[in-house]
Structure 1
Amino acid sequence: MVRILCWTVAVLACLWLAFCSAVGPIYRADGSIAEFSIWNALLGAVMFCVYLTIVHVLASIGGRRHSHTARNHTARNHTIPSVVHTIHTVSGQVCGFLRRIARPAITIITRHERTIIRHTNSTRRIFTVLVVGWAWCYITLLSAFGADVFSQIREFTSFWQQSHGNPQPYLDGTQIVSTIMDVYPTAHYLWPADPTFLTNQHNILLTLLYGGMGYASQTLIGAPDAGLIILSGMQFLFAAFCCAATANRFLNRPFAAGVSGGTAPAVNDSSASSTGVPTVGTTTAPATTRVIVFALLLLNPIVIFSTISLTKSPLFAFAFVWWFGALYELYATSAYGGTTVCDGTIAYDGTDSPATAAPPTKPRRITVIALALSTLVMLASAKYGLYIVALQLVLALLADRKRWRTYVIALLIPLIAFQGMITTLTATNTIIGGDPIESKGVQLQQIGRIAQRDPDSIPASAREKIAPIIDLDGAAKAYFPNDADRMKSSGSSESKTIAYQWRTVTADDMKDFNSAWLDIVKASPVVAIDALLAKCYGYFDVFDVPYVSAIYYVNNGKVQNDTAVISRWNHDWRNAVAGFANGWSHIPVLGWPIHGNFWTILTLVVGAAEVVRRRWRALAYHLPMLLLMGVMITAPANNFDRHMLPLVFCFAFLALWFRRDSGDAPEVVDRSQASR
């Protein structure tokens, strides 16, 4: 029964992915689900078979236990549909073909294994490799950003001027200072009577950092460029550190000896031989695995451009990578998480019932500190970090309850401290809290689409309740299938259409929002479904090109026209880099790896395979990734690369985690073998 339920979950995940691919052509043509045809059904059926086959192949790797025999494996194959088994056989042949093609490269890597391992056997050396590999981006482009950072600078400037005796324009009952909140409007009823100009719209700590640095630069040199360049440099180094620390944990496993009850030697110069290769007894990844991991980090434009992009999502994503590595170490050193160790103390195949499980080891202090600091950065950079951390706290306490103090120190205390700070600042009118409309993207899109395409269906009672909140005529003009920001009246004052009436709406008006929305949706359910799918299908449709890619922040009007120094620094080179990346992105199939949804889909497939394999404790550390997919669905825009960055950055490590739990990964590198 449990196995049937697990496969049901996996099938549902595959059905969702296949459905998004099936409806993709409809919504790219701005159509309706009512136009769903046999061709869409055929596309969905093919993609379902592909995804289910991938799940089956992953679930079959290594067997659920090492004791599984070939006969049992064959018997399992007969339990799936014959068409899927056929595709599985074909995929095996394709994999064999790809291995034959890759054999020369693998041979070259093997010959240089000693050198590769020597240069990637510690956090410091990995950090150096990443900095050198990414340096061209920072040196030649200096910085990347969008409109948000300028809004943060304006907020901080007004705050600073007000607090230093230079009163700024404030609410007068009808208007709001346009330089602060007109681009991303916050309802007037949320503004306190006493002038305050700092908001939590883009996260208060980031606003203080980005805005303060930009203001200082503007004061000193007359332009924000120097501050932006310094901020990008800081993020560049932070990104390299986060990826290096996590890569070291996954590739070198400096805590490995601690799993078997000893003191974990750091896999660095002190634990290496004179040749620089880790000695026998240290669990480490082979050179081929290292090359693949570094290729994904050093060659993917999404990763490279994000290192200097001054938006909240890249900062959150790099902190998430650091967080993910710390959680992996805690999992690997728990009673149920250890993979095969060199001395054979634990021979664990990834299930939840190891035959010989040692008690969990005391976490390294550096790991607890890393988890706490990465938690704080995540909370400071993205509002949904609160839900990610809270979910992980609950799951970790269930999966590793013997070490509950670690999670209280590293997750609960930072969560309480940060949220307490935000609550205090808002309650004392020091900052303005976020507008509730920000969390209603799906509902706004449904109201806007119905107002535009089926206005006669809206009941009079619903019109009356929604009128103080949403101008339905404005909503009909503002609605755009891929982006809910226009429904929130975001945009420059010269061009935007007013849909959300932030100037006049009241708290009492907002109480009727949900009931009015429900009445409107019930009156036109098909159009409402269209609005939901059109806003989120792209995150799970591998054929869909990003609505806004990570490339946008490298080359846009704000970067190329609104700066004094950055716009003149390699202006044509910036165009060429962005043009190359955009061209690559639009190549069918070959462009998939630089789309965020490609890695999102693979992450969901791996998660489905873990469900089939019943790796509940591993899933306890991976479910926040599923919650991130929920964030994507409710995000303002469809297929927006920046919301998928954590999954892009972490997938290589997730795949290595999955492979190690399968028990068939060659992890131990013998010094003599590496020297050959």
Structure 2
Amino acid sequence: MRLPYIVMTSPATAKLAAVSSRQSHPHLARAGAAARWTLAVLAGLWLALCTAVGPLYWDEENGTLAHWNWANTAIFVVSFLIYLGIITLMVRFAAGQRILPRAIGERLRQHQRNSETSRPAADQQASQPAKTRRTVRAIVTSTVTVLDRWITRGTNRFWKLMLVFFVGWLWVPTTLLAAFGADLRSQIREFSWAWNQWTGLKQPYIGFFSFVPMDIYPTAHYMWPSDPTYLTDQHNVVLTVFYGAMVTFARHLTGSNDAGIVTLAALQTLFAVFCCAAAANRFLNRPWIGKTATDSAAPPQAGGLARFLILLFFMVCPLAVFSTISITKSPLFAFSFVWWFSVWYELVQTWHPAGTRKHPQTPAIATPVHLPRHSFIAFILATSVMLISAKYAWYIIALQIVLALIADRKRWATYVVALLIPTVLIHGGISFAISSGAIIGGDPIESRGVQLQMIARVAQRNPDGISDEAKKNLAPVFNLDQMADAYSQQDADPVKSSGIQAKKVSYKWRTVTPEDMTNFNKAWFEIVKDNPIIALDALLAKCFGYFNVNDQPYVSMDYYVTSDYVQKNSTWIKDYNHDWREHIAGFTRVWGGIPVLGWPTHGNFYVVMTLLIGAAEVIRRRWLTLMTHIPLLLLMGVMITAPANNFERHMLPVAFVFGFVVLTYWRESLAERQRQSATLH
């Protein structure tokens, strides 16, 4: 389907086009509306299902869909009605329709009319408490007005926003220093082995008694080149080299890794400050306004309340605060994604009517404007950082290239240079390095988390339900007994033998061959066919938490602040504000555990709300905006296929842009309501 890029430039044009469309294709219009609402209903059903199964899977030992009862049904129905109600309210708001019940709305309007028609004489005769209340209201109104102006003026430039983010986050790297987990330790170890090889030190390689970094993840030995190499793309090779080199240099100067880790955390904080300030400037201030922006209904700049709420999220929410110093790939990807996402907003906004129309009933065609140089460079750099920080980034970017060239083909050169070329150079370069044997690629088993969980759950819960044929096909790849023993419904890593502590050798990475993998899918299909309920249990138990606001995170961002790698195994970081780290992390855990009030501290709240907003955008046919929001839907797909359930670092990109998504929906709704009002009059 071709995405529209036509802008209605006058009320008459909009009215004529709408009437003509309804008269010419009434059945098609009804079918389209039904299809759009069907998508919204499906989104609500999925969210309701994930909410309803929560109580089942919180009992890890016995939880199963087979135990579904009337309570789960009630939760499902109530949740669905709530989610569908939220979507309906957003759609009605965008359409300018009544949101509040008629009785409440009439009472509020009557109260407003009474307040507006009250006389000064009545004020003089009023009782002292009434006068006091009016005085308080006047003071509050004046204070709010002053604060609104102060907040707006204090954040109406990029450099001011940079200062706000820098000052607001300064306490994090200075008092907490850094946050990290096993991934960074693995990257440092990997680079150290590679450095030893480059400097001529002989080390073990392939062998049953050898245990090198590639065995920890693990990566199948058939993927290792014959010439020894120790760098892998498991955690993105560019980051591995950068992190490893920085820490190695610090270790050479200071004798420990800690100085290098703290430096990396400080650099990431500065990068986060820059990315978030740049994004906030585009969304809040729209610096191009008055020149090319198409949305004339909304105020040119965001108001003080929107600014306050968005900045409050970044300054207070543990997701954002702890991510600034968390040295792992997901926060880096998330901050670069925020930067990248804001450039897409500028691209959508920089359309303007071009020329005059040959016929008054013909809508003017929107002509795109070239990005300013600084935005064009930002687009390239943000794309590049995304590509080096997350392997799935290239899938997202590839789809966006296709959609952008369909919807905005006049700016094809922008997308080729800023999206296609970095993808070819970075992703293609890494692929070439892997194929040439310079580095080792990630094991394909990493992308089979859902399948592994299904097989392992069946092996644990119903081993007799696995046919002899399936066992025969799986035998060269997996040890079924070990899979059953290692199975945890929250995390697929133990099943694929990831890690170094208490390692269960279920995945036979030392001996498996590519030929052995050919029958894997066949065996998986047979097992699922024979055990459908258990297989569905495995899928839902591994991903329901991403879409259930009541589910507590399996791994929250505060984990990296107080992990053993920070608090016990570091050299001197562990002695710097040790108790303060525990106090801060403990406070966020208590806050996050409070029903409703703790929801905004968790990523699944923002995932759920973003999906609901996306459903409303579909119903309102905001195709161009949806094109820029497709990456958010793809990221939700990444969550479903991720190794662990409700792993908060996978939700960071969605959470970070949520405030901007809400602001965009509000602005476009104002524009839509203005067009409809003009059409009616």
Q: Same fold (TM over 0.5)?
A: yes
Identity %, equivalent residues: 50
CA–CA distance in structure 1, aligned partners of residues 83 and 141 of structure 2: 28
Partner of 1:237: 270
Cα deviations across residues 552-598 of structure 1 (Å, max 9, x unaligned)?
Answer: 11111011011112101100101100110111111111110001000
Partner of 1:626: 633
Distance 1:28 1:118, change over 3 A: same
Cα deviations across residues 479-535 of structure 1 (Å, max 9, x unaligned)?
Answer: 00000000110122x512111111111111111111111111112111001000000
Does residue 44 (structure 1) correspond to residue 76 (structure 2)? The answer is yes
Distance 1:207 1:90, change over 3 A: farther
Give the secondary-structure state (helix, strand or coil) at the position aligned to 1:359. Answer: strand
- Among residues 272, 287, 291, which one is paired with 1:258 in the alignment? 291
Does residue 316 (structure 1) correspond to residue 333 (structure 2)? The answer is yes
Does residue 60 (structure 1) correspond to residue 60 (structure 2)? The answer is no
AA in 1 matched with 2:504: T
Residue pair 1:312, 1:382 contacting (<8 A) in 2 also: yes
Following TM superposition, by how much is the alpha carbon of 1:621 offset from its aligned partner in structure 2, in angstroms?
Answer: 0.5
Partner of 2:42: 12
Partner of 2:9: none
Following TM superposition, by how much is the alpha carbon of 1:182 offset from its aligned partner in structure 2, in angstroms?
Answer: 3.2
Counterparts of residues 243-642 of structure 1 (less than 5 Å): 243-259=276-292, 283-335=300-352, 358-492=366-500, 494-642=501-649
- Among residues 241, 245, 248, which one is paired with 1:215 in the alignment? 248
Following TM superposition, by how much is the alpha carbon of 1:257 offset from its aligned partner in structure 2, in angstroms?
Answer: 2.6
Residue pair 2:283, 2:342 contacting (<8 A) in 1 also: yes
- Among residues 200, 208, 211, which one is paired with 1:177 in the alignment? 211
RMSD: 2.8
CA–CA distance in structure 1, aligned partners of residues 362 and 572 of structure 2: 60
CA–CA distance in structure 2, aligned partners of residues 476 and 260 of structure 1: 58
Cα deviations across residues 44-85 of structure 1 (Å, max 9, x unaligned)?
Answer: 11111111111111112241xxxx7xxxx46xx9xxxxxxx9
Distance 1:49 1:380, change over 3 A: same
Residue pair 1:321, 1:650 contacting (<8 A) in 2 also: yes
AA in 2 matched with 1:177: F
Following TM superposition, by how much is the alpha carbon of 1:357 offset from its aligned partner in structure 2, in angstroms?
Answer: 5.5
Following TM superposition, by how much is the alpha carbon of 1:664 offset from its aligned partner in structure 2, in angstroms?
Answer: 5.7
AA in 1 matched with 2:442: G
Counterparts of residues 135-154 of structure 1 (less than 5 Å): 135-154=170-189
AA in 1 matched with 2:305: T
TM-score (norm 1): 0.86
CA–CA distance in structure 1, aligned partners of residues 103 and 67 of structure 2: 35
CA–CA distance in structure 2, aligned partners of residues 377 and 10 of structure 1: 33
Following TM superposition, by how much is the alpha carbon of 1:364 offset from its aligned partner in structure 2, in angstroms?
Answer: 1.2
Distance 1:91 1:618, change over 3 A: farther
If you compute each CA radius of gyration, which structure gives the higher value, 1 or 2? 2
- Among residues 140, 145, 163, which one is paired with 1:128 in the alignment? 163
Structure 1's unaligned 5+ residue stretches are 78-84, 262-280, 339-344, 347-352, 668-676
CA–CA distance in structure 1, aligned partners of residues 673 and 149 of structure 2: 16
| Matched residues, number | 611
Give the secondary-structure state (helix, strand or coil) at the position aligned to 1:563. Answer: coil
TM-score (norm 2): 0.86
CA–CA distance in structure 2, aligned partners of residues 540 and 16 of structure 1: 8
Following TM superposition, by how much is the alpha carbon of 1:139 offset from its aligned partner in structure 2, in angstroms?
Answer: 0.6
Distance 1:253 1:550, change over 3 A: same
Distance 1:210 1:5, change over 3 A: same
Cα deviations across residues 322-347 of structure 1 (Å, max 9, x unaligned)?
Answer: 000000000001359x9xxxxxx99x
CA–CA distance in structure 2, aligned partners of residues 665 and 3 of structure 1: 17
Deviates further, 189-198 or 387-396:
387-396
Distance 1:550 1:464, change over 3 A: same
Residue pair 1:110, 1:288 contacting (<8 A) in 2 also: no
CA–CA distance in structure 2, aligned partners of residues 161 and 588 of structure 1: 51
Give the secondary-structure state (helix, strand or coil) at the position aligned to 1:130. Answer: helix
Distance 1:511 1:105, change over 3 A: farther
Following TM superposition, by how much is the alpha carbon of 1:403 offset from its aligned partner in structure 2, in angstroms?
Answer: 1.1
Cα deviations across residues 355-391 of structure 1 (Å, max 9, x unaligned)?
Answer: 5565222221211111111011001000110111111
Distance 1:519 1:22, change over 3 A: same
Residue pair 1:144, 1:553 contacting (<8 A) in 2 also: yes
CA–CA distance in structure 2, aligned partners of residues 236 and 666 of structure 1: 40
AA in 1 matched with 2:40: A
Does residue 21 (structure 1) correspond to residue 51 (structure 2)? The answer is yes
Partner of 2:669: 662
Following TM superposition, by how much is the alpha carbon of 1:427 offset from its aligned partner in structure 2, in angstroms?
Answer: 1.4
Give the secondary-structure state (helix, strand or coil) at the position aligned to 2:495. Answer: helix
Give the secondary-structure state (helix, strand or coil) at the position aligned to 2:502. Answer: coil
Following TM superposition, by how much is the alpha carbon of 1:464 offset from its aligned partner in structure 2, in angstroms?
Answer: 0.7
CA–CA distance in structure 2, aligned partners of residues 548 and 354 of structure 1: 55
Cα deviations across residues 589-640 of structure 1 (Å, max 9, x unaligned)?
Answer: 1110001000000000000000110111110110110000000000000000
Runs of 4+ in structure 1 deviating by more than 4 angstroms, as ranges, are 88-94, 100-107, 353-358, 664-667
Distance 1:544 1:103, change over 3 A: farther
Following TM superposition, by how much is the alpha carbon of 1:218 offset from its aligned partner in structure 2, in angstroms?
Answer: 2.0
- Among residues 258, 279, 286, which one is paired with 1:225 in the alignment? 258
Counterparts of residues 82-161 of structure 1 (less than 5 Å): 108-161=143-196
Give the secondary-structure state (helix, strand or coil) at the position aligned to 2:53. Answer: helix
